[in-house]
Amino acid sequence: MIERNAYTYLVPIARAIASFLLAGFLGIIGGWIGLTFNAFAGYPWSLTTHTNIYVIGIGLGAGAGGYLAWMELVVGRRWIVLSAVAVLLAGVAGVYGGYAYGRVAEATYFGRAYTIDNNLHLGAALGAFAVATLLGVITEIRTKGR
């Protein structure tokens, strides 16, 4: 990487923006996958289990999206796995933060009102974005000069 030019500053900023946008988008997709799984399964388990399937789907999707923008393959395999797991867990933690502190739709309804609850998706995207950006900047600093 060439030192002290616009590329040095613009690429991390673009990656951070892409991380947040991908985390939000894939969080929505993860929620849809969770809702679809619940519908195909026929809701055989308790309401709490089905709510957790939906919420964890959002968190894992957001974690995957947050990680994709900062993914580096020039670092060791252990760092790749640990950072991916950390960002996925941050997405799940963020969605539970949005679930705990946000407006939550009626718990007995898994339809349109649940998917519109933006606090779940925003919490997941922010959690994944924050950890992915932190780990991405650490990786950029560690690999500087390679």
Question: Does 101 reside within a domain?
Answer: yes
Tell me: pLDDT of 1 over 50: no
pLDDT of residue 111: 56
Question: Does 21 reside within a domain?
Answer: yes
Question: Does 32 reside within a domain?
Answer: yes
pTM of the predicted protein model: 0.84
Question: Does 1 reside within a domain?
Answer: no
Number of structural domains (the chain) is 1
Question: Does 130 reside within a domain?
Answer: yes
Residue 87's domain comprises 6-142
Across residues 82-89, what is the average pLDDT? 95
Across residues 72-86, what is the average pLDDT? 90
Give Cα separations from 144 to 3, 13, 56, 65 (angstroms).
9, 16, 35, 24
Tell me: pLDDT of 86 over 50: yes
106 CB-near residues (< 8 Å, 6+ apart): 113
Question: Does 27 reside within a domain?
Answer: yes
CB-neighbour burial class of residue 92 (10 A; exposed 0-12, middle 13-18, buried 19+): buried
Question: Does 50 reside within a domain?
Answer: yes
